[in-house]
Structures are given as structure tokens and as C-alpha cells.
């Protein structure tokens, strides 16, 4: 196989490789990245928030009147996991949320608990629901010591839940509150640095104004069939309000909240959260009388660090498929195409040189002058022909005007006699 054929094969291989790399880069940018930039299916997180507030003493319910404790330590916990159905388009999150007093043990310190399930679009993070599929459910509460299996109540979800969309924008989003069972606006307020990550800050108000004062409290949607925890009638003495001790007073439970979310704008991960909520009983919605829980809790440093790391991992995963690999493949493909073009040019010149040696010499000289061709060995180098001096014919007298010895001028020395003509050697 001559050099021209080898160069032609190398050129075709380089050009084919370059075209394949450019095609792969195009597919990654237009096809694969859109399928990578989604809520992951392996979410398994425990989010802890801590704070303090006012809380009802559950032990006082068996006494003469309820007791409200001030400035008690509180812990809020969210356990998030992925359930079925989850596939390429949707993900189902099951979230168990609770608020408890950390100064009490077991159930005596439990203030609130809810298990919410919601199916989200993996790209927009919006709840997937329609008339036949509510898009979520909530677990029916069980009493202490109830060993029966938990049952779920269908609950239609709207808006975002527990996540923000991929590539979150600076705008207002509807965010679902499972306690109020409604979606309320989460308004964009600005950017903040959270552990070195630039996050968008959103604020949601549920039944309160910007100062946190109740303006439209939410009547608590009970999960019991008889609404036992929504309306309670007991004596004025038990409520601890003015009036005749035995007077029966009915009060309604209300709920308000204000939340702040710090969101990674690339992955939509909530990296930090503050919850300020007020559960109370009252005869007038705007005049709280008996507090069940009034608290403010914020994500712990360990939770913030864990969520920031999760957001960075998702950023790296999306960047690898949407930017790093396409750019790398594009650059490598262009280099391969250029190299293939150069090899193809050399192949044509070499093939022409095999047909016309003069072109081969010109090509070799060009490469040697450019420093691309090593010098050929001396045996192969071109030699220069030097013309020999023509001898003068013998027997001719010197010209008359030539200088002689007698005149005192040096003249040419006598040339030795001519050798005899060559002939065969004599035989002896």
C-alpha cells in the first residue's frame, strides 16, 4: 500500500470521526439535555428546621383548663421520598411533615403531623391533576394506639409542591399548602448567597399581610369525617376565657402562615426554608383566643449544607450533558475535520507526484524548506555536475608573443611528455 492510499484512508477516517462527533454534540444539545434537565427520581431527604414559639400543653387537656406554654423549643421535620407512579415525565413525592416540642417525649410533644403525596411534572414541578386524577392525596390521621393501616384521602393539588421548576425564573409561582389545601402565590423578592450558592428568595403569605398580621385566616380543613378538630365546644373555664365557668363556647380552628424559600435557580431545589405559622381557636377569625401553636422555624445548618450539595450535584449533572460534553465534542469534531482536510490535501499531492515525478520533487523541496521533511541521505542527494577544463591539442607551438626564459620573464614550465597511447599490454 503506497503513501497516497494510506493518507486517503487516514483523511476519510478523520473526516468521518469529526462528522460523528459534531452529530453527537448536536444530539446532546437538542435531544439528550432536555431529558436530563428534570427532577431526579432518587430523592431521599430528611429536612430539619428548628426554632421556638408558643404551644399548647397536651397534658393540660385532661385538667380543668388548657395551658399555653411560652417560648418552647420546637423542631419541624420533613421526610421526602419518591413513590409510584414515577417515570420519564412525572415523579411522585411522599412527604411526611411534623412539628413537635423538643422538650417533651414521644407523642406528648407532637403538635402537628401530616403525610402528603403529590405527583409532579419533572420539568415544571407543577402538580399533575385533572378531574379523574387529583394528582395527590393526604393520609387520614389516626388516633394514638390505632394499629389499623393508614388510609389516604384524595386531595387535588395545584401549583408547585416541595420543589421549584428547573431553571426557575424571577417571577411569582403558585405554591401549594397541604394544610390549607390551596395554592398561594410565592413572590420573587431577590437574590441571596446561601453557602456560596446564589439563590432566589421567594415569600409566600397564607392569610396574613406582609407584616404577618392576619387578614384572611384559613378555616382549618379537617381530615376527620366529623371535623372533630375543626370546631370544638367546651366550657369557658376549659378555654380559659372570660365568662361563666360552665358556659359552653364553640370555637373554630384557624390557620395562617408565612414562608420564605431560598431556591437554586438551576435545579429548582429549595436549599433553605423558614416557616412562620399560627394555629389557633377563636370565635372571631381576626381575634385569636386560644393558641394551639405559634412558631417560627428555620432550616438547620446541616440541612442547608445537605441541600446546597444536592443542588450542586444536580447542576453538575445537567452541565455535563448540556454544556461540557457538547462543547468538548464540537471542538474535537472540528479539529478532526480540519485534520482530515489537511490529510486529504497531502493525499492528492502525493497521488499526483506518483504520476509526475517532477511534482514529487517540487513537493519534497517544498516540505524540506518548510522543515517538514528530513534531509535525504548523501547517497540519494542530487549532485552538481562541474564541467571539466578542455585540454589544448598537443604539438602546437606557443604563440610568438608568449614570454620566454631568455627574455628574463618567467614562462610556463615544460609540460611532461605525453603518455604513450593506451593499447593492449605486451605479452611475454
Separation CA 274–CA 194 (nearest Å)? 13
Of 144, 181, 168, nearest in space to 315 by CA = 168
Whole-number Cα distances in Å, 218 to 71, 113, 195: 24, 18, 35
> Would you say residue 187 has pLDDT above 90?
yes
Question: What mean pLDDT is predicted for residues 321-345?
Answer: 75
Q: Is residue 118 very low, low, confident or very high in pLDDT (cuts 50, 70, 90)?
A: very high
Can you list the alpha helix ranges (DSSP code H) found in 271-370?
301-319, 325-355, 357-369
Q: CA-based diameter of the chain, in Å?
A: 172
Which one of 300-314, 331-345, 414-428 scores highest in mean pLDDT? 300-314
* Contact residues for 108 (Cβ-Cβ < 8 A; gap 6+): 58, 59
**Strand residues in 161-269 grouped as ranges (E):** 173-177, 182-194, 197-206, 218-219, 231-235, 248-263
pLDDT in tens, 137-154: 998 876 656 667 778 889
Percent share of the chain, pLDDT over 70:
76
Q: Give the DSSP letter of residue 54.
A: E
pTM over the 0.85 mark: no
Three-state DSSP class for residue 46: strand
pLDDT tens-digit series, residues 301-324: 999 999 999 999 998 887 776 666
Q: pLDDT tens, 396-406?
A: 555 555 444 44
Amino acid at each position: 500500500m503506497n503513501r497516497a492510499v494510506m493518507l486517503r484512508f487516514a483523511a476519510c477516517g478523520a473526516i468521518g470521526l469529526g462528522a460523528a462527533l459534531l452529530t453527537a454534540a448536536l444530539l446532546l444539545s437538542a435531544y439528550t439535555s432536555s431529558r436530563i434537565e428534570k427532577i431526579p427520581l432518587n430523592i431521599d431527604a430528611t429536612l430539619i428546621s428548628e426554632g421556638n414559639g408558643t404551644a399548647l400543653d397536651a397534658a393540660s387537656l385532661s385538667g380543668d383548663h388548657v395551658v399555653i406554654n411560652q417560648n418552647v423549643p420546637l423542631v419541624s421535620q420533613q421526610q421526602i421520598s419518591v413513590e409510584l407512579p414515577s417515570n420519564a415525565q412525572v415523579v411522585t413525592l411522599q412527604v411526611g411533615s411534623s412539628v413537635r416540642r423538643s422538650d417533651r417525649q414521644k407523642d406528648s410533644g407532637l403538635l402537628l403531623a401530616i403525610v402528603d403525596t403529590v405527583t409532579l411534572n419533572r420539568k415544571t414541578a407543577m402538580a399533575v391533576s385533572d378531574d379523574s386524577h387529583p394528582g395527590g392525596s393526604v393520609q387520614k390521621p389516626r388516633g394514638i394506639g390505632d394499629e389499623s393501616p393508614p388510609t389516604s384521602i384524595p386531595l387535588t393539588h395545584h401549583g408547585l409542591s416541595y420543589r421549584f421548576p428547573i431553571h426557575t425564573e424571577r417571577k411569582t409561582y403558585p405554591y401549594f399548602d397541604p394544610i390549607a389545601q390551596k395554592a398561594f402565590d410565592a413572590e420573587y423578592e431577590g437574590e441571596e448567597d446561601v453557602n456560596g450558592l446564589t439563590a432566589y428568595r421567594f415569600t409566600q403569605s397564607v392569610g396574613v399581610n406582609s407584616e404577618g398580621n392576619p387578614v384572611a385566616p384559613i378555616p382549618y380543613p379537617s381530615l376527620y369525617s366529623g371535623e372533630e378538630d375543626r370546631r370544638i365546644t367546651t366550657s369557658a373555664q376549659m378555654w380559659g376565657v372570660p365568662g361563666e365557668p360552665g358556659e359552653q363556647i364553640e370555637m373554630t380552628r384557624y390557620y395562617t402562615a408565612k414562608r420564605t424559600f431560598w431556591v437554586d435557580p438551576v435545579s429548582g431545589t429549595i436549599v433553605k426554608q423558614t416557616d412562620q405559622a399560627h394555629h389557633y381557636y377563636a370565635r372571631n377569625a381576626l381575634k385569636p383566643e386560644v393558641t394551639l401553636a405559634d412558631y417560627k422555624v428555620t432550616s438547620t445548618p446541616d440541612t442547608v449544607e445537605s441541600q446546597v450539595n444536592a443542588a450542586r450535584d444536580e447542576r453538575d449533572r445537567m452541565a455535563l450533558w448540556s454544556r461540557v460534553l457538547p462543547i468538548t465534542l464540537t471542538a474535537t469534531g472540528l479539529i478532526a475535520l480540519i485534520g482530515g482536510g489537511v490529510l486529504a490535501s497531502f493525499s492528492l499531492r502525493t497521488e499526483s507526484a506518483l504520476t509526475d515525478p517532477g511534482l514529487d520533487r517540487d513537493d519534497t523541496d517544498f516540505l524540506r524548506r518548510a522543515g517538514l521533511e528530513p534531509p535525504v541521505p548523501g547517497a540519494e542527494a542530487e549532485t552538481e555536475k562541474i564541467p571539466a577544463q578542455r585540454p589544448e591539442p598537443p604539438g602546437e607551438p606557443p604563440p610568438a608573443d608568449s614570454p620566454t626564459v631568455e627574455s628574463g620573464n618567467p614562462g610556463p614550465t615544460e609540460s611532461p611528455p605525453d603518455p604513450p597511447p593506451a593499447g593492449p599490454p605486451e605479452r611475454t
